[in-house]
Chain A
C-alpha cells in the first residue's frame, strides 16, 4: 500500500525567510511524487513533480522540492517566502506501476507573516 505523511499541520514563517514543508512517502517500486497548492475556496493547483533524474526539482512560483531516496522524503522548499504563498500544501505519490490514483498527504497549512 502507498502512503504519504506530512508531519506538520501548520508551518509559520516570516516573509523573506526560507520555508520548508515536509513530506515523506511509502510506495513500493519507483515513486512519482507531486506537490499541489490549494488557495481558499479553490481547487488544487499543480506545483511540481519528481519522476526520475535530478533530486532537486524546480516548479511554479519559485518553489522547489528535494527528493531523498534514502530518507523517502520529498520536502518542498522556497528560498524566500511571500505573504501570497500562504495556502494549504499537499504532497502526493503514486507508484510507477499498478494503481494510478494519487495518494495525498493530509496537507500542511503555510502561514507567511509580513
Chain B
C-alpha cells in the first residue's frame, strides 16, 4: 500500500518568506509526527498529533513554527519568516494506534529538503 507522502520533496525559499510543508500519512494511522534532520545531526522532534487529542508541541523551536492536522489525516507544517538556520530536511512519520501504541513503529516519508537562502 501507499506509504507516507511528503511534498514538496525540495523547497528553496528566501529568508523571511513563509513556507508550508505537507504530509499525507498512511491511511488509518492515527498518530502523526514531524521531525527535523539537520546536516550531521540526529532527528529533532517537532510536534506529535494523536487522534483528536491536543497535539504535543513541545519540540517546536519557536513561535514561527506551527502545524495543523485537518480531519485527522493530512498535516501541514508552516514556518513563518524563515531563517537560514531553518534549513534542514523535515521528516513526517505516522503510526497505527492499535493495541499498545507505544511500541508501534513509525513509518517515515522521504522528507522535504528546505533550503533558506
Contact = CB atoms under 8 A, between A and B. Distances in A.
Nearest to A52: B103
Contact of B48 (A44, A95, A97, A100): A100
A41 B100 CA distance: 31
A94 B41 contact: no
Contacts of B18: none
A105 B93 CA distance: 17
Interface residues of B, number: 26
B106 A41 contact: no
Interface string B95-115: 000001111011111110000
Contacts of A44: 43, 91, 93, 106, 108
Given A42-B110, A99-B56, A101-B48, 19 more contacts: A4-B42, A36-B108, A43-B93, A44-B93, A44-B108, A46-B107, A49-B103, A51-B100, A90-B42, A92-B43, A97-B102, A99-B58, A100-B31, A100-B50, A101-B45, A103-B45, A104-B42, A104-B45, A106-B42
Interface of B: 4, 31, 33, 35, 41-43, 45, 48, 50, 56, 58-59, 91, 93, 100-103, 105-111
What are the 7 tightest A-B residue pairs by CB atom distance, in nearest-first order? A43-B108, A106-B42, A104-B43, A46-B105, A44-B108, A43-B110, A101-B45
